[in-house]
Structures are given as structure tokens and as C-alpha cells.
Structure 1
């Protein structure tokens, strides 16, 4: 008989942060050599020292004694990991069968589609004209000397392809109408969906010489020399932007390469206009009608939103500015984007997040423009622009001082005001009272709930690009919105939570077991059938390059028919299980300084 001593680390959960304490507990198991070694070539046939979890060793020893397994009393995944370590093949196979009872490569009822990884495209003939040579400097930065005799400062370990992330994984996903654009490390792929044929790959860019940080898609260009049916897709890396036109037959033509001069931190379309902004204080606009690219210096930008043809900018001097991009072609001669101050915060704190809500237009008055914004001090304010008082500017409506960290996200919708601060993604939600569609002072916005969206991001960037893992909130502003929570970088699971109360709508798990590196939520237009409505989908991008789709409309309907459980994000047990799969040495907590993402692999809980 053998006496086996197993020393164990003890997990404890303090608040919402998992901690690991090493204690001197010793668990003793008595068994025979015959029992331990009946499985040939296992761990026990060649080793006598065991430094493993005794709670998992007990069922393994019981299996060796009785050859029986009671899966309902164990954690199948953790026990499978232990059985693989000990090399007990019969137990591993039994546990795999137990695991397969609840898993399928066809997914559950929410699984809506699978797009396999695309092939890597060749470089275009002119790719070398966009290449960059990286040189070290004494200041420990990197200079990118471009072949087009451009010199720009970029960030270490991000542009040099030798230090970039896995080229085959999905970095960013964005959607527009019935199209999605998927950015990989060096190329972008566009897909469109039709009811009769499903999702089809319609455009693949050439392979670039630098890493993609941002991607923007416009699937409905109205008018202009591109034609009514043409689409546009753009990608950015540090200061450079490449724009393509996608023709109806799926072929793409490069429109041009543009430079903002400073790192591009936001890339998007407003109508036909492609917009690029930077925290450094630059706005760039390209217009499809005039084919003109224009840069303009502004105050350093810390947030933005759009409303119709208006681009709203929140800046670090406490002011909110706007640009009417419809007027852009009229001002080319003056080289002026007509940047106009709309409002200044009473305390002149930096505007770190903002959200614009346009009320429904009535016959006797135009739209009310409502703007919610958050500041670097944690203040949340709502301002309102009356149609009949356009000349006097917005009026301060309501102020909240509940956050003690900088506000990083804010959303004003028909029913809710939602804010997120830098304190581990702490969310506060208020209900909004409306009268005839307009925000009302009686009783005004009232507190509803408070919760956190905990997540750990990868320090070395293997988890993807920060632009590809934004938590949200996602959804139309006249509908219920959701947050998407990826707890640890190397995980195949996402939690979908209501933005109004933090309750868990559902959880989705990769059908092929691959890690999720990017995600987004997008509504696709309904079919031509009578009564068909747009449907909301969660698109997840994976480490192997695949795209998986999940039907959130069905998930919301199911959740609406039953009383949603009190679960929010992961439970303590689920959090510990996820952390067991994560190397905490590769993660870190964020600093509290607000800044717009530059896709430097930023880290947030």
C-alpha cells in the first residue's frame, strides 16, 4: 500500500477579484500500487510525487478503484484536464463523452451560421508602395519610414509585423445593413447575406505590409460618382488609411491611400463621407462626390458620436463641437470643416464619452437633440437642444455625480441612460421619462441599477485588437440594448447581458472550441416577406479565422417569455473556472487615465 501526500493551493474569492493563497494543507490517500498502475503508461507508472488538486484527485482515485464515474457530481472540464495530466486514457474518453452530451459542432438554437477561415490573399502589385521600414531610436520608440517619403511616429510592437499578433485570427468585425467586414492582421474580407443564398464572401483585399488597427464599412453609398450600388470599405494602421470601392460583382478597386498625420483612433462613415479622428486633435474627411481628402487640426478629441449628418466631438478642454459633414463639399475652397462649438461643460472637465439621441420628428416641431456626456471626473450630464431655440444652444437638463472614475462609455436611448466608468467597467443605468417622445423633467431620469462588466485583456496582444472587443452597449436606441462580456482573453465563451439591469440574456460558446478574439452586434435587414423585421445577431471572430453567428433576437424573445434568472455575468464558480484557464501573469489592470483607443492592446477589467 502507498501513502500519497498531496499539497494544495487554496482559492479564495475576495469581492470580485480572484486570489490565490498557498496553504500547507496535506491530503492523504491510501491505495495499492496495483490500483494506481492498472492503466499502462500513465503518470503513476513512472512518478511518485504528485503536486495536484486533491479535490480532483479523489474522483480519479475512485475511478481507478471501481472503474465507475459519476459525472453529475464533478466538473467535467477540470477533471478531464487532470485525467489528461495523469495519462488515464479510459477516464479521458469517458469524460469526453460526458462533455459531448451538452456540446455540438452544430451549436444550440441560437447558433445561426459559420463562416470558415478565408485563404490568405497575395500581395498586390503595388503593395510595396505602402510598406514601412521600422527603425529603432534612442527614445525607445519606432520610426516608420515609408517608401512614399513619409515619416510617421508609431507604437512599438504593433507595426512591425515580426512582433504582430497571429496573422490568421480575427481582429475586428463591423457591420452595415446586410454586410459585414472582417479584419485580419494584414487583410480585410467582406461578406453579404441574402435570404436565398445565405452569407457569401464578396471581397478580399490584397495582403498589406502593416497591421490593421481599424476597419469601417459603408454598404449603402447614395449617389455620387461611385454609383448607387457600390460599397466602400476602409482600413487604418497608425496614421495611414486605405479605401476601396466594392463593385456589384464583388470586385474591388483601391480609391486611395490617405494619411491623417497622427494615429487614427476612430474610422467610420457618415453618409458618403469617410471620417477619421485622433485623440491628438485631428479630423480627416474624404467625400465620395468630390473625391477630396481634407485634414484639419482641432482641440484634442476624447470622444465622438454622430447624429444624421452631424459629427459631434467631445474634447479635452470641456467643449462639445460639431461638424455638419453635408456642408463639407461647399467649404473645400476655404479648407475649413466649419468646426463649431456647441456647448461647454460648466467645470470644463474633459468630455470622455458622449451619446446623441434624436427624438422623433413631429409636425409642429423638428427634432429635439438630446446629448448625454461623461467627463474625466466621473460626472454625467444631459443637455437638450430645443428646435425653436437653435440659436441659443443646448440647455443643461440633469447632472449625476455617481461615478468616481472617468466615464468611458455612455448611451442615451428611448428608455434608458447608461454610463460606464473606468472602475472595472462599472455600469450605472437610469430610466428615462418621456412625454410625446421628448425627455421629461417629471420625474426625469431615475436610478435603475448598478453592476460591472468584468473582463481581463491580454497584455501581449494575442487576444486581438481592443477595437474588436468593445463591450457595448449594442443595439438600436429605441430597443433594449446589450453588453457583451468576454471575461478572459483565451476563452471560447461570451456572456450577453441586458444593459438596463445587467441580467444575463444568454451565453454563447464557440462550436469548434476556438478562442474568441473579436465580436460585435449588428442588425441585418429583414427579408422581402410581408411582416419580416430586422434581426439582431452577435458575430464572434475566432483565433482560427472563422466567424460564428448567434441569433440574439431569438435569445431576447426567449428571455422575454420567462423570468430571467438573477444571474448577471459569471458566477463566482464560473469566474474561478475561467481564471483557472487564464495565465494571470499575462494580464494587468488598467490605469485610470481616460483616452481614446489607439489599438495599442489596451487592458480593462
Structure 2
């Protein structure tokens, strides 16, 4: 007869425990009931204690639960403890931990989770005629049918789960439609056929994942391999499908989105009802569409297909003007489509390396150390001269190649107009700030300050109202400075002071950085942030302040699918204050949104502001240490 008060000595991973037979066996059908009944062979140490090769710290928590029927989960890794409970078969504790895990990691997202856009329910299939039909003006391809829109709009939690599964594992119907149906050769075990099937499944998965995601105002464009879906946000409907591009024969490499253009369509006819314009590039070709969502079905007009002559590396809107840039060595080119003239024009731009925009200005950095600019407001006046009016603004004193550039236009005041402030980084690690006074416009900018703290080429630079931030190619090493201003203009008294140095580590390949840009993101009058994606296939992103590297929050995919691309955008309309949204595209084909407004504002505020009447204010905190962690 079993003595339930008998002491049982255990050696768990080198740590000794002593408990009673009753404590270990009050939960039926567990590892311990099988062990003590002899159904599981035992291994004993030199003292005769039963040896079990498991984590002693986690076992101590389980043993306390068996003793008291209760557990304190503060500072406990719930998932690791749940794994141990499953191993030992402690079902009551395992169920409790599962509930706690669901509360902490809900599939509906945390408090920052803002929205979910499911994958397209009927993704279009690319074929040889789709691209041509999209260009020949047929009515079938110039509209999005109501049934297509309704199919994508309809969404439930169960349907989204099914769509995520379809995005990863094609059904037999999908395989057959793509020319990958069952064949006799495959059933006979033909190795080549299986190899082709696996390759096509990978192709299907790549076509389903979100390649690029962009936003402008209350619009989002989600680009897949061969088509783009546009979403619009309204108070009454929330996010809904507003338009879809034609299927492209070539893989989409860049997209640009401009909402509420109010421009004109091809042929010079006004399109007052146009809501949004979408530019798409593949190789050297650029296609531009205008969409009007005021009609049913949605009216889509192909404005034109343009050729830059070299592969498009940057595609953007400067106001309503579409700009395509390429910095491919000596064959650097700039192409502009102007909304008022309906004309596409290209021009060689020597040694183009980087760019930035400010108002109607497009600034171009070059490998020869020159800063050039194009004023889009003057551009239509020179159309007959076939000249983009590329003008040199400044020349680096050492003629160092310019690798990053940032423009800040100070707000106009009653005392003076805009100051033009430009920060740029070079291939040799220098960061310079140049300033142009309103009263000295004809004399060009003057060199204001030089920083030589980087030893590697500068890849990013951002000049804002309060900070100067630079990033170099050595593991995204960031340096930041606090900017002193007087009446809104940059000041030399006392000038810029160093703020922090840290690294935004990422283990992604350089080729993956085009649509996974770490930042900094944010308007120039607010706190900017970095988005850190450490490894390529991850469902987790880290948000950090650009000024000091402080971790703001951690974002995890609500469905567990890896993040394929991301961008930070400001959603302005329909809200009392602008929302700063992190938009993530996923390999499942879905898009997820996170509202970063509150955590960024909270992290940017000083923890303990000094009292107004303090006689002995606290000393300034030391500079942030050099940080290489995540």
C-alpha cells in the first residue's frame, strides 16, 4: 500500500528538491504518477535521488503550484513555463497559463493595434494579355467591378484565417488555374515535376506577400508582385477597397501614391472627381493612373506609360508632379510628369546619389559634391526649352561625394521669410549643415557647421526643428545632436550639442532594405522614430526614438505572419489630431496597422520636469551611452 506521506527526493538539473508522494501525484495522469508507479524507468544519482534533466527554476514554480494550488506569475516567462507544464502533464496549470498567454498575446492585437486589411479574396492571375489589355483602353480593364470590391470588402475573423492559409499553401484549384495541376508524371514520382511544383509554390507565395506599402493622407496602397490595391479610410466605412490597378506583366519594383490631386487626366480634360493618382515602375518603365471613386464602378484612367531609359530607383510625387530618379553611375537620370502640361520629360543628372524634397523643391545630391535643385513651380515655364532647370545650389568645400541629404524649411514669420537649412552626409563620414538666409538668396547657402564623428559613409541624415540625426553604414550607427534655435531659426549660440550614439542593428541583407527602411520617420516638427527589423523572417518590430535610441514599444503581428515591408505615415483627416501609424505588409498578403501616437508622445516627454520655482534644479543627465543592443 502506498504511503502518501513518503518523502520523494528529486535531482532536477543538478538542483535537489524534497517533497511528498501525495504532492507529486494529486493531479492524475501526469509524468510523476507514471514515474512513481514504475511505468517510466528512473535514473538515480549517487545519493539515490531521482534525476530528471529539466530546468530547476521552472520546476520550482511547478512544485509550488502542486503544493499550494496557486502560483505567482510576476516576472515569469509564461510560454517557457507552459512548455514545462506540458512536458510534466500538469493540465490544470497548463490551462491557466494558456489563458494568461492569450490575454497577453491576443490574436486581436494589443492596445496599439489599429486595423487589419485581409489578403485579396480573389487575387488576379497574371497572364500574357493582362498587361496589354490594361493599356489598350478596354472598358473591362478600366473598371473595378462591384462584385470584386464586395468580395474584398467582406471580411470576418474566420475568413481572414482561411485567406492567410491560402496565402501560404495554394489549394488544388489554385494550382490547376496556375497550370500546376495533377499530372501522371507527378503521380509516378517524376523528380523534375516535383521540383517544378515546389518552385511554382514558392512563386505563388512570393506573389501573395505584400511587396511595398505606401500611404498618403487617408489612403493606403498595398503592392503585390503584379498589382496594387488601394484602400481609403472614412468615418462611416472605416478602411475599404477603393481601387485596384491592372495586372502587370513585369514585377512591380516601386510605387508612388498621391491623394486628392485635382489634376488633369490624359488628353488635357479636367478630372475634378479624381481622388488619387498611382505611379508604378518596373525596370525603366513607369505607368501612371488616375482613379475616381465617386462613380460606380470605380473609373480608372491610364494617363501614360513613360520610359526613363534606365532602371527607376526612386519614384515619388512632388505635389501633383510624378518624379522618377535613377542614380546608376554615370547614367543618372531624372524624369518628371507635370500635371498641368501633361508632359513627360527626362534629363541626364550627372552622378545623382541622393535626394530630398521641401515644398516645391527637389534637391539632388551628387557624387561630385554638388547640391542641385529643381523648382517644380518653374518647371512648366521651361517646357518648350526641354529643360528641367537643374540648378547647382552648393558645392562641398572638399568635393566629397554626397550620400544623404535633408532639407528643413523654417516657418515664415512676420520678420522674415523661410530660411533654407540643408544637412548632408558624405562618403567619408562628414556631416555638414548649410543655411541660406532669405535676404541672401542670390548668394547661395553658407556653411554653418561640420561634424566629423562618423568613420563610415553616411547613409541617412535628418534635420528637424529640434534635432540633427545622422546614420552611417556601420550597422546603422546613429549620432544625434540637439539643435538650438532663436525665433525659429538655427542659432550658433550655443549651437548644436551632442545627444546620443547608438546602433539600430538589423541582420537583413542590403537588398531587403529598399522597402524596409529603418528611418528616421516623422514630420520635422515632431519627435522622429526608427523602426528596427532585426532579422528577415520575423513578426516583430521595435520602435525607437531617433533622438536617443530609447525603446518606445514592440509590435508583433496579430496572426503570426512575418513582416515583409513597413512604412510610417501620418493619418490626418477625420481625427481631432493626426495619428502616427505604422503600416506593415505581411507574407500572408495581409496589411496591419499600429497607432504609435500615444507611446511616442509619452516616451518623448521628460520623465520628471523640473519645478518652475525650484531653487536648485537637477543637473543635466549625462549623454546616452554608446549602445549596441537591440
The separation in 2 between residues aligned to 1:550 and 1:269, in whole angstroms, is 25
Counterpart pick for 2:517 among 454, 470, 492: 470
The match for 2:288 is 243
Q: C-alpha separation between the residues in 1 aligned to 2:201 and 2:279?
A: 20
| Equivalences, count | 509
Structure 1 residue 316 displacement after superposition:
0.8
The equivalent of 1:232 in structure 2 is: 277
Q: Is the aligned partner of 1:342 residue 2:393?
A: yes
Corresponding residue number in structure 2 for 1:270: 318
TM-score, scaled to structure 1? 0.74
The 2-side partners of 1:293 and 1:503 are apart by 45
- Measure, in 1, the Cα distance between the counterparts of 2:65 and 2:436: 75
Higher strand share: 1
Relative to the length of structure 2, the TM-score reads 0.72
Which of these residues, 589, 608, 624, is aligned with residue 545 of structure 1? 589
Matches of 1:556 and 1:442 in 2, distance apart?
A: 29
Question: How far apart are the structure 2 equivalents of 1:319 and 1:121?
Answer: 46
Please state how far the C-alpha of 1:233 moved relative to its aligned partner.
Answer: 0.8
Give CA deviations for 1:566-604 in whole Å, capped at 9, x if unaligned. 9x99x99x96xxxxxxxxxxxxxxxxxxxxxxxxxxxxx
Listed as ranges, the matches of 1:20-169 within 5 Å are 56=55, 59=58, 74-78=76-80, 95-119=97-121, 120-123=123-126, 126-129=129-132, 166-169=206-209
- CA distance in 1 between partners of 2:34 and 2:462 (Å): 59
Contact 1:180 1:192 in 2 (8 A): yes
2:563 counterpart of 1:563: no
Contact kept? 2:467, 2:482, Cα under 8 Å:
yes
* Matches of 2:367 and 2:458, distance apart in 1: 13
Shift of 1:441: 1.1
Tell me which residue corresponds to 2:138.
none
CA contact (8 A) 2:12 2:54 kept: no
Deviation per CA, 1:55-81, whole angstroms, max 9, x where unpaired? 658747996999788755753345667
Matched, 1:181 2:184: no
CA displacement 1:242-270 (0-9 Å, x = unmatched): 21111133432222222222221111001
Tell me the C-alpha RMSD between the 2 structures. Answer: 3.8
Q: Superposed, which structure 2 residues align to 1:464-543 within 5 Å?
A: 465-527=512-574, 532-543=576-587
Secondary structure of residue in 1 paired with 2:98: helix
Alpha-carbon contact 1:214-1:467 (below 8 Å) kept: no
Give 1:565-604 correspondences, 5 Å limit: none
User: Once structures 1 and 2 are overlaid, which stretch shifts more, 393-402 or 255-264?
Assistant: 255-264
Contact 1:113 1:549 in 2 (8 A): yes
Of 305, 309, 330 in structure 2, the residue corresponding to residue 261 of structure 1 is 309
CA distance in 2, matches of 1:87, 1:308: 65
Q: What residue in structure 1 maps to residue 196 of structure 2?
A: none
Deviation at 1:193, TM superposition (A): 0.9
State the alpha-carbon separation in 2 of the partners of residues 406 and 523 from structure 1. Answer: 30
Residue of structure 2 equivalent to 1:192:
232
The 3 A distance-change label for structure 1 pair 330 and 458 is same
Query: Deviations 1:420-448 (Å, cap 9, x if unpaired)?
Result: 11111111111111111111111111111
Deviations 1:510-569 (A, max 9, x none): 2222222221111111427xxx222221112222122222222222344467839x9x99
2:244 corresponds to: 204
**Cα contact 1:161–1:210 (8 A) shared by 2:** no
Contact 1:164–1:211 (Cα < 8 Å) also in 2: no
Partner secondary structure for residue 514 of structure 2: helix
Q: Deviations over 1:269-311 (max 9, x none)?
A: 0122110111111111112222222221111221100111111
Distance across 1 between alignment mates of 2:15 and 2:307: 64
Please identify which structure carries the higher helix content.
2
Larger relative contact order (CA 8 Å, sep ≥ 6) = 1
| Deviation per residue, 1:164-222 (Å, 9 max, x gap) | 97222222211111111111222111111112221111011122222222111000214
Question: Contact (CA 8 Å) 2:317, 2:323: kept in 1 or not?
Answer: yes
Q: Does 1:289 align with 2:336?
A: no
Distance 1:129 1:81 in 2: 55
2-side partners of 1:259 and 1:181: how far apart? Answer: 23
CA distance in 2, matches of 1:323, 1:381: 21
Whether the aligned pair in 2 keeps the contact of 1:161 and 1:211 (CA below 8 Å) is no
Distance 2:254 2:492 in 1: 40
Q: 1:300 to 1:79 in 2, by over 3 A?
A: farther
Structure 1 gap segments, 5+ residues each: 7-25, 132-159, 576-605
Q: 1:441 aligns with which of 474, 479, 492?
A: 492
